[in-house]
Structure 1
Amino acid sequence: MRQRFKPWAKEKLNEYPEVVAPNPADLKGKWHDYFGNDHPIHIEVGTGKGSFVTGMGKAHPDINYIGMEIYDSIIVSGLEKIVTEEIDNVKLIRENAQKLTDFFKPGEVDRVYLNFSDPWPKNKHEKRRLTYESFLSIFETILKDEGEIHFKTDNQGLFEYSLHSFSKYGMILKQVWLDLHKSDYEGNIMTEYEEKFSSKGFRIYRTEAQFRSKK
């Protein structure tokens, strides 16, 4: 989906260093200080306009959430939600997922969310998929022992690929939903894409995958 360029977005984001981490590498190992508490840290990689991460923040005030998005013109919508609704347990990072180990020390994160990630359907682009083994290695590094990835998509091909990728990596598939909105799952917070796709009758797939203990 093409996003409208917002030339004022970068300046707007820079006005809120208490929400949008200006130098996330400086916070490596210090994220609890940034939040001002010792609550668990959950991150959403590819947070888009922030509907999911802000919704989760409001629903779970005892958890710290970090939304990661590379495009200023998109993530600024998340900032506006956080500021307008005064959500103090949600922060943002404007960076690429490949740099996650530069921003978080091993075991600093409790959970990773991947919602409606780019499917990169061509085989030659497999390594760009966020559920490819190189990304799984990054997530495993920053997650606590036996940490989890919660993954949602409307793309059946990506879902099937991801289930295989998780299993091949040695992860445990704790739960799998083949039609989330027709299941008995409670507490679902929708993303912007999920609202759009589900309203058109698209099936939403979801899984919770856990890394095996290193101990």
Structure 2
Amino acid sequence: MARSKLTKFKEIAESNIVIEPGKPIFETIRGNWNEEFFNNNHDLVVEIGCGKGDYTIGMANLFPNKNFVGIDIKGSRLWKGSRLAQEQGLTNVAFLRNFIEQISQQFSPGEVSELWITFPDPRPKKGDEKKRLTSARFLDIYQSIVKPEGLIHFKTDDLDLFQYTLELLQKREAKNLRYTFNLYESDLQHHTLGIQTTYEKRFLAEGQTIKYLQFSR
């Protein structure tokens, strides 16, 4: 392992805004995010597969009276996000290092007010369907931790993944489902808060359209 990675993982281990296996709070945080970490009773917003935390940090700046948690398994990505949050003096941000399929161990039913899925790996192979972050098993996990009527948002550039997700939600009769195949030509644009991830900026520069949907439990 390169020295730079060793340094990053050491900083993550010492960071008070990154929660990961091995830290005592990792085992006790479920149901206690506001009491044990944020020390307030504000709404809790989660970003799934947050990468470097573009959305998490962007939302935290826009809404200082909400709490935000970015989740990813890649330590080097969370290192970048946590550094940015600290440099910007944000006190309403945390990062959780864990596999997405295990997050119900860190969030209790209805603890999350809102959830974002931003530009996940499309996993185009048919055999990888269960690994898609919008597959049925993952949707069940999200809906188990989001409070009733809490919104779940999904942004992607990938048409196949978007159609797959939309069809799945329609079959499940998802409540309050709204969607667009071209975000920046739709009246749903304001729902995405004007935040663009690094990937999104790249896709737009390549002339791709951004797809977006939202639904509630």
Q: Do they superpose with TM above 0.5?
A: yes
Retained in 1: the 8 A contact 2:148–2:216? Answer: no
The CA distance in 2 between the partners of 1:174 and 1:121, in whole Å, is: 24
The CA distance in 2 between the partners of 1:107 and 1:87, in whole Å, is: 25
| CA positional deviation for 1:194 | 0.7
Tell me the residue number matched to 2:174.
171
| CA positional deviation for 1:182 | 2.8
The CA distance in 1 between the partners of 2:167 and 2:26, in whole Å, is: 32
Q: What are the equivalent positions in structure 2 for 1:13-162 lying under 5 Å apart? A: 13-17=12-16, 19-21=17-19, 22=23, 23-33=25-35, 34-162=37-165
Residue identity opposite 1:26 in structure 2? T
The CA distance in 2 between the partners of 1:111 and 1:135, in whole Å, is: 15
Tell me the residue number matched to 2:210.
204
Retained in 1: the 8 A contact 2:123–2:131? Answer: yes
**SS of structure 1 residue aligned to 2:102:** helix
**SS of structure 1 residue aligned to 2:85:** helix
The CA distance in 2 between the partners of 1:81 and 1:66, in whole Å, is: 14
Structure 1 residue ranges (4+ consecutive) displaced by more than 4 angstroms after TM superposition: none
Residue identity opposite 1:124 in structure 2? G
Kindly report the root-mean-square deviation, in angstroms, between the aligned alpha carbons of the 2 structures: 1.4
Note the residue ranges of structure 2 that are not aligned, 5 or more in a row: none
Retained in 1: the 8 A contact 2:119–2:155? Answer: yes
For residues 91-125 of structure 1, the C-alpha deviation after alignment (integer angstroms, 9 at most, x for no partner) is 00010111111001111001110000111101111
Retained in 1: the 8 A contact 2:180–2:212? Answer: yes
For residues 45-73 of structure 1, the C-alpha deviation after alignment (integer angstroms, 9 at most, x for no partner) is 10001111101100111111100010111
**SS of structure 1 residue aligned to 2:178:** strand
Retained in 1: the 8 A contact 2:107–2:145? Answer: yes
Note the residue ranges of structure 1 that are not aligned, 5 or more in a row: none
Q: How many residues align?
A: 206
**SS of structure 2 residue aligned to 1:181:** helix
The CA distance in 1 between the partners of 2:197 and 2:13, in whole Å, is: 25
**SS of structure 2 residue aligned to 1:8:** helix
The CA distance in 2 between the partners of 1:172 and 1:191, in whole Å, is: 27
Residues 180 and 11 (structure 1 numbering): CA distance in 2 closer, same or farther, change over 3 Å? same
The CA distance in 1 between the partners of 2:146 and 2:34, in whole Å, is: 15
